[in-house]
Amino acid sequence: MNDTIRLVGVRARGHHGVFDHERQDGQDFVVDVAVEVDAHAAAGPDDLEKTVHYGVLAEQVVAEIERDPVDLIETLAERIAAAVLTHDAALATEVTVHKPQAPITVPFTDVSITIRRERTRTTVAPDAA
């Protein structure tokens, strides 16, 4: 069983969307990230290097929101998940991207996408002897 580090409500301004006004004016995006780790590996030796530094992770999430625009929040979620999985201690992640100011013509509170991604494991082929 894995342990979970959560960042909730990381907010930054991005210029994502399919409409010209979204690209030009931008809007706030809110991201929640859950990262599966083995907390025991870090807690035993009390070693920050054996876990995911949540301060660094929060800065990475903001950087992904603020960088070059994409059309879909699905694409933004994939970019954030890929950034999470660059951390050695990250085993899997769940990323939710909220777009509370989405251009929807009826009253709504939020629109979001949630994805789950796992670190790909490479298997070594047995020696052909």
What's the token pair of residue 84?
A: 């999470």
CB 50 within 8 A of CB 89: yes
Per the rule left: phi > 0, alpha: psi between -120 and 50, beta: everything else, 26 is left
Q: 126 φ, ψ to 5°?
A: -65, 150
Q: Which residues contact 56 (CB under 8 A, 6 or more apart)?
A: none
Catalytic residue among 12, 42, 99, 119: 99
DSSP H or E run through 61:
helix 54-66
Catalytic residue flag (residue 50): no
Q: Are strands 112-118 and 3-14 parallel, antiparallel or unpaired?
A: unpaired
Q: Are strands 92-98 and 27-37 parallel, antiparallel or unpaired?
A: antiparallel
**Catalytic positions, please?**
99
